[in-house]
Amino acid sequence: MSDPARIKYEPLAVEGRRQALWREQAAFTTPPVAEDRPHLYIKPSAPFTSGNIHIGHVRSYSIGDAYARFRRARGDDVLFAFGFDAFGLPAELGAIAGGVSPSEWVARCAEHMQGQLERLGFSFDWDRAFLSSDAGMYRWSQWLFLTLLQAGLIYRGTGNVDWCDNCETTLASIQVEEGGTCWRCHGPVRLVEMPQWYLRISAYVAENDARQSERAASGKWDEVALASQQIVLGRLDGVELDLPAPGGLLTVFTPHQDAVAQARFVLLSPRHPDADAWASDPAALAQLDTLRTGGWERSSREAETIPVIDTGRTIAAPGGEQLPVYISPVVDSRFGATAVLGVPAHDRTDEVIARRMGLPEEPEGEPATASRPASRPAVRYRAFDFTISRQRSWGTPIPIVYCESCGTVPVPQDQLPVLLPLDIKPTGAGNPLAEIDEFVNTTCPSCGGPARRETDTLDCHFDALWLWVPACVPPDARDGSLEEILALADLRHWLPSERLVAGSDSGNFVFDQRIVTKALRDIGPLAFIEDGEPFAGCLFHEMVISGGRKMSKHLGNVVDPDELVARYGADTVRLAVLYAARPQRSLNWSDSAVLRCNRFLNQVWDYTHAKIALAATRADSEANSGSGTAQAGPDGEQERDQTEHMRLRLSKWCETGVEKVTEDMEALEMHTAVRNVMRLFDRIKDFEKRAVGRQGELSDANLAALLDALAVLAQMLAPFTPHLAEDLWSSLGRADGGASPPWPGVSLVVPA
Ligand SMILES: [Zn+2]
Ligand SMILES: [Zn+2]
C-alpha cells in the first residue's frame, strides 16, 4: 500500500538537499561567452550593506530569480549577479553604532546577507559578487571620475550643504531631524556653501528625454519605471524670450506661455552665470555673498521664507514696462539654474514672492497692449547637475591632489587606486580622513613637490553609476588592468543588461546611469552601446508594506524573512511574495498569502507523491503477477473509448497553461504566472476526479497522463519554488543527473 504520509513535505530538508546539490554542481556559474548562444544579463539591485535582507529584498530578488531561472530553463545563457553597495552613510552609521571600522562592518554585513540570500535559494553567481568598497572595485569609480573630468563632465563648483557647527561636519538630509536639527547633537543645522565636485548631467538630459519614447515602445519597461524617468527628468514646456540687458541679452523662461504680458518680475537662480553682474549693487552683492557662504536656515526653504534678493535693478519687459530683477534659490528646485519670468497671476509661488517683495497687487497704469513678444518654444528640465563629493571618510577617495605650484592635479590613471585607509573609525564628527597625515600628505604627480590629497570622498551614488558593469567581468579577469578589462569581449557580450529589476525608488540611480552610459559611449569605452542605454528593459516594483504602512521597527510591523523561512521554508516565502500582488503595486503584507501558498505547496507535494507511489505499486504487482500483457487487451480498448477525450483535454489544458505562463514570464508578470500554475493544478485534480468517477479507479493510461501533467506542473513551478519543483521533478523520474527541469517543450540538450 502506498502511504503518502511517509513522504511528508519537509521544506527545510528539501531545500537543504537542493542547495547542496546546486553548490556541488556550481549550477549558477555564468556560462562563458558564446556569441552564437542566446544570452542575457539580468541586473538585480545592489543592496545597501545594511546587515539584513528584508522582505522588500525578498520581493525584488524573487522576481529577478524567477525570471533568471525561466530563461535558463529555456536554454538561454544567463548572467545573474550583483555587488553590494557598501560605501556611504548607512554603513558608516552602522559602524558607529557597532563600534567597529566601516570596512569590518560591511564585510560582516555582506557575509550575513549572502547567507540569507543563499538560504532563500536565489540563483546568483556568487563568484561574481563584490563589495563596492573593495579597492579593485572602487578603482573603477576613480577611473570614471578621471574619465569624466577629462571630458569636462565633472567640474569643481560650489554648493549648499547642511552643516552642523557642533559636529563640524556636513549632514546628509536623513541626518537632519524634523525641525532642522542635527541627528547627533540636536544642534541647529545651517545650509552653507562649500566647494564641491559636480557631475554635468545637463549635457545628456535632453537625450535621456528623447529616448524615453523608445523605452516605452520596447515593451520592456514597465509603467512604474517609465514614470520614474519622467519624474526625475522634470520636463517643463514653455517659452523663452530675450530681454535687453546691460551687457547683452538675458534669456528668460516661463511655463506660462500665454501670460508673458502679465510678468511682474524676473527671477534668477544664484547659480545663473549672470547673477553676480545683476547683483552689482553693494547691498545686493553682500546678500548674495551671505546666501552663498553664510547659508540660511534649513526651515527657510518654502516660498514664504526662502531668501529673495532684490538687486535694485530692473529690466525692460517686452511690453516696455520695467520689471524688477530678483535672485533666489527657489528657481533651482523648480526650473534648474536658469532665469524665469515671475507671473503672480498664474503661479502660486510667484504670487507669494510678489507679495513678500511688496509689489502692488495690480500693475500701475494700463497693461501693455504692445505686440506679442518674440518668444520661442523652450524646454527646461528640473534634472540638473548635482554634487558627487561628500565630506565623509567612508567612500571612494577622489583621485585629486592639490599642489601649491600646479594647483588641482588629477592622479594619473596608472596610479590608481588611491587607497582608502581601512583603520578609520568615524564618530559622526568632523571628517576622520582629513586627520590622517599619511593619507593627506603626498607628492604632486606633476612636479613631484609636496601636495595634499582631496579628503572629500565620492558619494556612493557615484559608485552606482558604474556598479551595473562589474558583474560582467569574470572573476579571474578582475585583477587585470583597466585597459584589459575594458577590452574584454564579456562586456560587449552581456551589455546592455536585458532587464533591471529594482525598487521603484531607483529612478534617480537609473536616470544617472543612463546619462553616464551615454557619456561613456561618446568618450569611447562603451561605444558599443549605440543608444547609450544600460538597460534594455526595466521593472520597478513597489515596496512591501504592512497594515497599509511602511514597515518600521518603531511601528513594530516588520516582517522578518528569516523567521518565515525557518517556519515555512524558502519556497513558500518566495511564492507568497509573488502571489500576493503585482510588482507594480504595493504589497500589503498579510500572513494569509503565506498560508495559502504553503497549503498549495503541501498539496502539490502530497498529491504528486501519492501518484508516484500508486504508479510504483502497480508496476510492482504487474511484475509479480507477470500477467500484465494478458489483461491489457480488452480493458485498454474500453478505456480508450471512455476516457481518451478526457486525456486529450488534460493535455490541452497543459498546453494552454504552458502558453499562458510562458507569456506571463516573458512579461515578468509573475503574479499572473503563479495564478495560472495554480489553476493548472486544479485542472489536474479535476481530471482525476472525473476519470475516477467514470471508471471507478484511475486506469494505467490515465495515471500516466496524470504523471505527465504533474511533470509539466513541476517544470512551471521551478522558477518560483525551485527546491520543491526540482525535487518533484527528480521523484517523477524525469531528472537527468539532478539538473533543473527545462521549460516545457524545451530540450536542453545542445545539438551536436
Ligand atoms: Zn551636530
Ligand atoms: Zn605640482
158 — pLDDT class (breaks 50, 70, 90): confident
746 — pLDDT class (breaks 50, 70, 90): confident
Distance (angstroms) between ligand 2 centre and the Cα of 157 equals 21
Distance (angstroms) between ligand 2 centre and the Cα of 679 equals 72
632 — pLDDT class (breaks 50, 70, 90): very low
- Residue 181 in grid coordinates: 536639527
Distance (angstroms) between ligand 2 centre and the Cα of 292 equals 30
- What pLDDT digit, counting tens, does each position of 572-616 carry? 999 999 999 999 999 999 899 999 999 999 999 999 999 999 999
Distance (angstroms) between ligand 1 centre and the Cα of 184 equals 5
- Tell which residue, 647, 562, 574, has the closest CA to residue 112: 562
Distance (angstroms) between ligand 2 centre and the Cα of 251 equals 41
pLDDT over threshold 60, residue 23: yes
Angle value at C-alpha 314, between 313 and 318, nearest 5 degrees: 165
- What pLDDT digit, counting tens, does each position of 242-292 carry? 999 887 899 999 999 889 989 999 999 988 889 989 998 899 988 888 877
Distance (angstroms) between ligand 2 centre and the Cα of 286 equals 35
Distance (angstroms) between ligand 1 centre and the Cα of 109 equals 27
Most confident of 84-93, 196-205, 570-579: 570-579
pLDDT over threshold 50, residue 92: yes
Share the mean pLDDT of the chain.
90
Distance (angstroms) between ligand 1 centre and the Cα of 54 equals 30
Q: Which amino acid does the sequence have at 539?
A: L
| This prediction's pTM | 0.90
Distance (angstroms) between ligand 1 centre and the Cα of 183 equals 7
- Tell which residue, 378, 367, 380, 379, has the closest CA to residue 259: 367
- Mean pLDDT to the nearest integer, 656-685: 97
**Which of the residue ranges 82-96, 324-338, 505-519, 623-637 would you say has the lowest mean pLDDT?**
623-637
State the ligand closest to the CA atom of 442: 2
Torsion of CA 175, 179, 180, 181, to 10 degrees: -70
Distance (angstroms) between ligand 1 centre and the Cα of 166 equals 5
**Burial class, 630, CB count within 10 angstroms (exposed 0-12 / middle 13-18 / buried 19+):** exposed
Distance (angstroms) between ligand 1 centre and the Cα of 141 equals 30
Distance (angstroms) between ligand 1 centre and the Cα of 536 equals 44
Q: Which pLDDT score, from 0 to 100, does residue 86 have? A: 95
Distance (angstroms) between ligand 2 centre and the Cα of 412 equals 13
Q: Which pLDDT score, from 0 to 100, does residue 161 have? A: 80
Distance (angstroms) between ligand 2 centre and the Cα of 599 equals 71
- Mean pLDDT to the nearest integer, 219-234: 94
Q: Which pLDDT score, from 0 to 100, does residue 747 have? A: 64
pLDDT over threshold 90, residue 168: no
Distance (angstroms) between ligand 1 centre and the Cα of 428 equals 8
State the ligand closest to the CA atom of 406: 2
Distance (angstroms) between ligand 2 centre and the Cα of 219 equals 53
Q: How far is CA 577 from CA 61, 344, 505, 565, 721, in A?
A: 10, 49, 19, 12, 12
Distance (angstroms) between ligand 2 centre and the Cα of 75 equals 57
Distance (angstroms) between ligand 2 centre and the Cα of 2 equals 85
State the ligand closest to the CA atom of 447: 2
Distance (angstroms) between ligand 1 centre and the Cα of 716 equals 55
Q: Which pLDDT score, from 0 to 100, does residue 629 have? A: 47
Most confident of 1-5, 296-300, 383-387: 383-387
Q: Which pLDDT score, from 0 to 100, does residue 601 have? A: 98
Distance (angstroms) between ligand 1 centre and the Cα of 291 equals 21
* Between 168 and 65, residue with greater pLDDT: 65
Distance (angstroms) between ligand 1 centre and the Cα of 182 equals 5
- Tell which residue, 613, 617, 611, has the closest CA to residue 714: 611
pLDDT over threshold 50, residue 174: yes
pLDDT over threshold 80, residue 491: yes
Classify 257 as helix, strand or coil. Answer: helix
Distance (angstroms) between ligand 1 centre and the Cα of 173 equals 13
pLDDT over threshold 50, residue 696: yes
State the ligand closest to the CA atom of 452: 2
C-alpha span between 485 and 695 (Å, rounded): 67
Distance (angstroms) between ligand 2 centre and the Cα of 150 equals 18
294 — pLDDT class (breaks 50, 70, 90): low
Distance (angstroms) between ligand 1 centre and the Cα of 94 equals 17
Q: Where do we find the cell 546539490?
A: 21
Q: Say which residues have a Cβ less than 8 Å from residue 318's Cβ, sequence separation at least 6.
A: 241, 243, 260, 261, 368, 370, 372, 373, 374
State the ligand closest to the CA atom of 446: 2
Q: How far is CA 56 from CA 126, 550, 551, 573, 614, in A?
A: 20, 11, 10, 12, 42
Q: Which pLDDT score, from 0 to 100, does residue 638 have? A: 56
51 — pLDDT class (breaks 50, 70, 90): confident
DSSP annotation string for 450-519: EEEE---EE-HHHHHTTTTSGGGS-GGGTTS-HHHHHT-HHHHHHPSBSEEEEEGGGHHHHHHHHHHHHH
* Between 60 and 637, residue with greater pLDDT: 60
Q: Which pLDDT score, from 0 to 100, does residue 364 have? A: 55
Residues with CB under 5 A from ligand 1 (ion): 164, 166-167, 182, 184-185, 187
Distance (angstroms) between ligand 2 centre and the Cα of 409 equals 7
- What pLDDT digit, counting tens, does each position of 390-411 carry? 888 999 999 999 999 999 999 9
Distance (angstroms) between ligand 1 centre and the Cα of 593 equals 45
Q: Which pLDDT score, from 0 to 100, does residue 273 have? A: 87
pLDDT over threshold 70, residue 293: no
pLDDT over threshold 70, residue 300: no
State the ligand closest to the CA atom of 403: 2
Distance (angstroms) between ligand 1 centre and the Cα of 440 equals 25
**Which of the residue ranges 304-308, 488-492, 634-638, 708-712 would you say has the lowest mean pLDDT?**
634-638
569: left (phi over 0), alpha (psi -120 to 50) or beta: left
How would you classify the pairing of strands 499-503 and 538-541?
A: parallel
Pair 416, 142: CB distance under 8 Å: yes
Percent of the chain with pLDDT over 90: 70
Q: Which pLDDT score, from 0 to 100, does residue 634 have? A: 47
State the ligand closest to the CA atom of 410: 2
- Mean pLDDT to the nearest integer, 142-150: 98
Residue 573 CA, chain-centre distance (Å), reads 22
- Mean pLDDT to the nearest integer, 288-316: 77
State the ligand closest to the CA atom of 450: 2
1 — pLDDT class (breaks 50, 70, 90): very low
* Between 335 and 747, residue with greater pLDDT: 335
pLDDT over threshold 70, residue 130: yes
State the ligand closest to the CA atom of 186: 1
C-alpha span between 45 and 499 (Å, rounded): 11
State the ligand closest to the CA atom of 163: 1
- Tell which residue, 161, 47, 94, has the closest CA to residue 389: 161
Distance (angstroms) between ligand 2 centre and the Cα of 148 equals 22
Distance (angstroms) between ligand 1 centre and the Cα of 162 equals 11
Distance (angstroms) between ligand 2 centre and the Cα of 106 equals 36
Q: Which pLDDT score, from 0 to 100, does residue 636 have? A: 52
State the ligand closest to the CA atom of 190: 1
Classify 335 as helix, strand or coil. Answer: helix
Distance (angstroms) between ligand 2 centre and the Cα of 23 equals 53
Q: Which pLDDT score, from 0 to 100, does residue 296 have? A: 56
pLDDT over threshold 90, residue 142: yes
Distance (angstroms) between ligand 1 centre and the Cα of 431 equals 13
